[in-house]
Structure 1
Amino acid sequence: MKLWSGRFAQETDPRVESFTESISFDVRLARHDVRGSQAHATMLAKVGLLTEQERDQIVNELNAILARIENGDLELSPSLEDVHMHIESALIEKLGDVGRKLHTGRSRNDQVATDMKLFTREAIEHIDRLLQDAQCALVDRTERDVDVILPGYTHLQRAMPVMAGHYWLAYCEKFQRDRDRLSDCLRRVNVSPLGCAALAGTSLPIDRDYTTELLGFSEPAANSLDVSSDRDYQIEFVSALALIATHLSGWAEEWILWFSTEFGFLKLPDAYTTGSSIMPQKRNPDVLELIRGKSARVMASVSQLLLLVKNLPMAYNRDLQEDKLALFDAYDTIAACLELVPDIISGAELQVDRIRERLDEGFLDATALMEYLIKRGVPMRSGHGIVGRLVAECEQRGCRLSDLTLAEFQAASDRVDETVFDVLGPDNAVAALQSYGSGGRAAVAEQTQRWKQQLSES
């Protein structure tokens, strides 16, 4: 069915209708389409292309149509292709020629672009709020675990001790970079395509600045030809989502390890674990595993969009209908993951006794000992070698660095005196950390206050 054109002599093949429809997934744009159409109608009345009465009829009926869609009362048909034609068809059915005037000075090309920018702008704001919720949960954990020391790892090998709050705040930093990327992306999203029409603009006296203002965009797009093909903002948004997915996946992987019997660092809330169909003792971290797994879908969406646009000539091509599937799925997936994150963070319990009883393993104080030697005039590389030999000796004897005698330390370096024991052991090693941004107690307390203030203001 070709309701809007007299060009064709034949009806569309039903198989083509099914193949080309997008109403099955773009119906979620109905609210944005109505908002854009109402702004367009308001502008048409302002410039004299609609009467005020016609504007009011259109605006009011669009509200009624949206209510029908949201209530499931408007029949959705593949023959009408997309949400835009469903809404326009329902408008014409109710208002006749008045409804037919709505599309004056507008193409589906800029209409689609406007709807998608309105959707993406809202999606960015939603993801930003969810990231902030996750940051707040992390800062709360920092204060809750204020006295807990964790082993820090590199290469999944024990490296240096850090305050637990240092770990929580590390994810605050990652999520803040995610929020900053979204904020930067928003600048390019918030440019209005409406009024660019099919590709070359229009000869009608429309007012693009007015629709820009009505829809809350920062400025109108400056090139009508660019607008109908531009999907950069979608790729940028989904790329930002892919980085969020990367951070969530890394966090989930760590907690899956921490939850294992081998680590035993963490107990997850029952509400976020599942059982086994055959092994009654199991508590599986399925939610974290799915967060880790779903990240692949978000990352794949970036490739999907890049591949979609890489060969397209300028202006609109029907290929671009497929952009929504990738963007919607990436957004929905990240939103679903982030909805769960704050409660998982808040509900998990560090197994403090288990962590503490093994904290002396792995020579977490070795770097503190090396820096002790540096402070006493030993060149860094020489100190590195001295401590490495002491660690090797302790491994052979099955003891800790702090178990060595003062005489043994002095045999390794004549710069050592009894104060060496003030830096040995994880508590002392953490206490020695003092640089800005470090994992020491004072530095973490400083960063916690900074984050509390920053989040209260955002």
Structure 2
Amino acid sequence: MFSKTYVNRVLDPCYQNWRKYFTEISYAVHKAHLVMLRERNIIKPDIAAAIKQGMDSIEKDFVYPETIPDNTEDLYFVFEKELGRRIGEDKAGFLHTARSRNDMDAAVFRIFIRRRILELLDSLAVLAGSLQDRIAGNGGTDPIILYTHGQPANVSTMGHYLGSMLLNIGECAESLCKALNTVNKSPMGACAITATGFPIDRSLVSQLLGFETPVVNSYEAISTSHWLTFPAAALKLLLTDIGRYMADMGHKASCEVGILWFPDSLVQISSIMPQKRNPVILEHVRIQGALAAGILGGIEDIFRNVPFQDVNEAGDAAADEFSRAADLALSCLDLFNETVQNAAIVRDRVYEISASYGICTTELADSMVRDFGISFREAHGLTSAFVKSGNDKKTLRRKYAEAGYGELPYSDAEIDRILSPDNFIAVRTVPGGPAPGGMESVVQAASGVTENLRAVISGIRTTEEKASRELADRYAAL
């Protein structure tokens, strides 16, 4: 008899996780294993038929107890006991031939995590599509100021700014897809550790459950943590990047900067300060992402001191935590998508800050290099003196003459044109720059992010659906 404390703190929470998340998946694992046992002639047709009948009736009308029954380790033993009650223990016991809870539980966990990753990739594809729409149009050419070290540095465009994040998301999505490839391998057939002497077909079970392939080494199949730590690390990195981006957008939306604006539908007020417009959606994107990242970091840590043996004891609780993090991450991504669709540029403020802080002065130095053949370092010194003088054109002309170059050929109007944000953007045509020509490569790469995500999602879902149909057909034939 298990102690009450152990039941309340370990066994029943585990049981509740299985009731909540894993019961339906476990039925699929039972069916795939039963099909394999029969098709490999490991069990007789009448035994397979009896087990099928019993499992069908359990799936149809059995209600698992709300709490774990006395002296029971987990939900599987509740299932096995009920199957024995319905068809006889002598027949029911054959279902567990050539398998263990080690490989069975690991398979259930992997299918569950696979589904959650696909949900995350779905949400990422929607976000990527919204970012792509903003980059290619819908205000994508609006000017914005980009900062370094907290100071205004360069003028760019909204499309260029959002494009940087979309391509960053694309890299994180690649990591998540790579993690999915690790998750999407079947541990079934590993049994407890070293597989079995029965002539099982691991590839068949893998195929019927929608996995890409079996885990090659039976010991790795039950001892690895990568099915959980890889997606946790990939998702954590994505959320960390989103948090940084929210901090930057919050800075741009502040009263002191004021180049980003959000509609009233995303803004809250103060209960005491009438003037306040708080774009708190940015805070909630960051908060929810940070909470999820904290959970994911804990998942990585939980395996640090776990011996390289079976990991099922750390499995269901950690999978539950991953699911909690996934829910927060999905909310974070949804809010980020809303942010992307509604953020607007305050164009007059962009021009004001650009003029006040001499943000486009680099282009004046560049133009002097291109037009007059002087070195950039000399041009940098001349334009630096110009900025320090408060953009006094007479100072610029005097410094140019003192440097031995004579009269500066630029008119005042030409200097103003060179220093304009529109010109600063227009001349940056190199691939990756904010000018329309430079953005062609960004738009192409951004399109690739969305297409790749949708292709991965479609491929996995197609495999899952095909496997589900094949399992149903072969199971029905028992």
In structure 2, which of residues 26, 35, 48 is the aligned counterpart of residue 33 of structure 1?
26
Select between 231-240 and 246-255 the one with higher mean Cα deviation. Answer: 246-255
Q: Is the Cα contact below 8 Å between 2:195 and 2:218 reproduced in 1?
A: yes
Q: Paired residue for 1:358, among 328, 353, 356?
A: 353
The yes-or-no answer on 1:15 pairing with 2:2 is no
Provide closer, same or farther for how the CA distance between residues 429 and 105 of structure 1 changes in structure 2, counting only shifts above 3 A. Answer: same
Aligned equivalent of 1:217 = 211
Contact map agreement 1:242 1:302 (CA 8 A) in 2: yes
Which residue matches 2:133? Answer: 140
2:328 is matched by which residue type in structure 1?
T
Which residue of structure 1 lines up, in the alignment, with residue 325 of structure 2?
Answer: 330
Shift in CA distance, 261/62, structure 1 to aligned 2, threshold 3 Å: farther
Establish whether residue 115 from structure 1 lines up as the match of residue 108 from structure 2: yes
Give the Cα separation in 1 of the matches to 2:337 and 2:57.
Answer: 38
Which residue matches 2:340? 345
Is 1:100 aligned with 2:96? no
Structure-2 change in CA distance of 1:23 and 1:68 (3 Å)? farther
Matched, 1:289 2:279: no
Counterpart of 2:67? Answer: 77
SS at match of 2:354: coil
Can you list the C-alpha shifts for 1:216-275, whole angstroms capped at 9, x where unaligned? 222222222222221123111101111111122122222222333223223334444444
- The AA in structure 2 aligned to 1:106 is R
Does the CA contact (< 8 Å) of 1:130 and 1:339 recur in 2?
Answer: yes
2:155–2:360 contact (8 Å) kept in structure 1: yes
2:159 counterpart residue number: 165
Cα distance in structure 2, aligned partners of 1:189 and 1:427:
48
- 1:74-114 C-alpha deviation (Å, 9 max, x unpaired): 33323445443444444444443344332221111111211
> Which amino acid letter does the alignment assign opposite residue 46 of structure 1?
E
Point out which structure has higher relative CO (alpha carbons under 8 A, 6+ apart): 2
Task: State the match for 1:298 in structure 2.
Answer: 292
| Cα displacement string for residues 372-398 of structure 1 (whole angstroms, at most 9, x for unaligned residues) | 23323322333322222221122xxxx
Provide the rounded CA distance (Å) in 1 between the counterparts of 2:332 and 2:77: 33
The residue that corresponds to 1:384 in the other structure is 380
The one-letter code of the counterpart of 1:96 is G
Tell me, in whole angstroms, the C-alpha distance in 2 between the residues paired with 1:60 and 1:250. Answer: 55
What is the aligned partner in structure 2 of residue 189 from structure 1?
183
In 2, the alpha carbon distance for the partners of 1:271 and 1:34 equals 45
C-alpha separation in 2, matches of 1:289 and 1:56: 57
Answer with 342-351 or 448-457: which moved more.
Answer: 448-457
Q: Aligned-pair distance for 1:442?
A: 2.2
* Residue aligned with 1:360, SS: helix
Q: CA–CA distance in 2 between the matches of 1:16 and 1:407?
A: 84
| SS state at 2:144 partner | strand
1:20 alignment partner, SS class: helix
Whole-angstrom distance in 2 between the partners of 1:136 and 1:130: 10
Q: Indicate conservation of the 8 Å contact 1:239/1:302, yes or no.
A: yes
Separation of aligned partners in 2, 1:197 and 1:287: 48
Report deviation, 1:405.
Answer: 7.6
SS of residue in 2 equivalent to 1:152 = strand
d(CA) in 1 for partners of 2:334, 2:57? 32
Q: Secondary structure in 1 aligned to 2:155?
A: strand
Matched, 1:234 2:224: no
User: Which is further off, 261-270 or 52-61?
Assistant: 52-61
Q: By how many angstroms is 1:66 displaced?
A: 5.3
CA distance in 2 between partners of 1:90 and 1:76 (Å): 15
Asked if structure 2 preserves the Cα contact closer than 8 Å seen for 1:228 and 1:316, the reply is: yes
SS of corresponding position for 2:188: coil
CA distance in 2 between counterparts of 1:354 and 1:147 reads: 16
1:122-133 equivalence runs, <5 A: 122-133=115-126
Residues 417 and 288 of structure 1: CA distance in aligned 2, closer, same or farther (over 3 Å): same
Contact 1:149 1:161 in 2 (8 A): yes
Render the CA deviation track for 1:103-139: whole Å, top value 9, x for unaligned.
2211111112111111222222221221121111112
| Of 80-89 and 439-448, the range deviating more from structure 2 | 80-89
Which deviates more from structure 2 when the two are superposed, residues 114-123 or residues 313-322? 313-322
| Equivalent of 1:393 in 389, 394, 414 | 389
Structure 1 counterpart of 2:421, from 422, 426, 443: 426
Match of 2:252 among 239, 254, 258: 258
Residues 137-146 or 296-305, more deviating: 296-305
- Aligned mates of 2:256, 2:416 — CA distance in 1: 31
Q: For residue 144 of structure 1, report the CA deviation from its aligned partner.
A: 0.7
Alignment counterpart, residue 180 of structure 1, candidates 166, 171, 174: 174
Tell which deviates more after alignment, 53-62 or 353-362.
Answer: 53-62
SS at match of 1:284: coil
How many residues are matched? Answer: 439
**Letter aligned with residue 374 of structure 1:** V
Q: Offset at 1:446? A: 4.8
Q: Say if 2:40 is the partner of 1:47.
A: yes
Distance in 2, matches of 1:218 and 1:58, equals 27
Greater mean alpha carbon deviation, residues 54-63 or residues 245-254:
54-63
Q: 1:372 and 1:353, CA in 2 relative to 1: closer, same or farther beyond 3 A?
A: closer
Q: CA deviation at 1:161?
A: 0.7
Shift of 1:149: 0.8
Structure 1 residue 169: Cα displacement: 0.8
Aligned residues: percent identity?
Answer: 25
Is the Cα–Cα contact under 8 Å of residues 153 and 159 in structure 1 kept in the other structure? yes
Q: Which residue of 2 aligns with 1:370?
A: 365
How much does 1:58 deviate? Answer: 4.5
Structure 1 letter corresponding to 2:295:
S
| SS in structure 2 of the partner of residue 234 of structure 1 | helix
Distance 1:350 1:68 in 2: 58
User: Which position in structure 1 is the counterpart of 2:397?
Assistant: 407
Report the 3-state secondary structure (helix = DSSP H, G, I; strand = E; otherwise coil) of the residue aligned with 1:101. helix
Is residue 431–residue 440 contact of structure 1 (8 Å, CA) maintained in 2? yes
Q: Call closer, same or farther: CA 1:363–1:54 in 2, change over 3 Å.
A: farther
